[in-house]
Amino acid sequence: LALYFHIGEREEKCIIEDIPSDTLVVGNYKVQRWDIHKHDFLESAPGLGMFVTVTSPSAEVLLSKLYGPQGTFSFTSYLSGEHVICFQSNSTRFAVIAGSKLRIHLDIRVGEHFLDESAIQAKDKVNEVNVRLEHLIEQIHHVTKEQDYEREREEKFRKTSEETNSNILWWAIVQTLILISVGIWQIKSLRDFFISKKLV
């Protein structure tokens, strides 16, 4: 996931990532500050820090740390589900003037294990093959975990759909019974009315 978004200084912005359990997540970001004179975003925002907070689906804080104007953060998910990743600048300027617009470039990689190419080159060919093979096995495990998570979500969705359909069916039956009861009551009321007026 690679994107950028705008926030004001001291404003908090959150994104939601649906992540399987036991999965490594690595994020890289860079902050740019709007320059009033140049009418453009400066390439860097020196002196500006960024609070990064990550919350699990159970509202547990997995990460809460202050980084610089650009940095890398990582965390491992313990539960599958929607994780909330929030960014907020640590602007020390007065609230009155701390309204400068910031642009945050964000790249989030879920479940990736990166190869250290320099370490691989320093080893012989057999070790290089072993390292690459281990990397491929890790990637296969990640793909399997993703598939299991998707199956779990599909199962939950199917159960919810079946429960909804069942509720709709029972509601339709109840409505039909109510209509039949009202109809019978109306017929009986009309019949009693006609008998009392001696019309039948």
Q: How far is CA 170 from CA 167, 174, 181, in A?
A: 5, 6, 16
**35 token code pair:** 């320059």
Q: What is the pTM of this model?
A: 0.61
- From the number of C-beta atoms within 10 Å of its C-beta (0-12, 13-18, 19+), residue 91 rates as buried
User: 40-54, 61-75, 150-164: lowest mean pLDDT where?
Assistant: 40-54
Q: What pLDDT is stored for residue 74 in this prediction?
A: 92
Tell me the per-residue pLDDT of 145-191, one tens digit each, with 9 for 90 and over.
Answer: 888 888 888 988 889 898 998 889 899 999 999 999 999 999 988 88
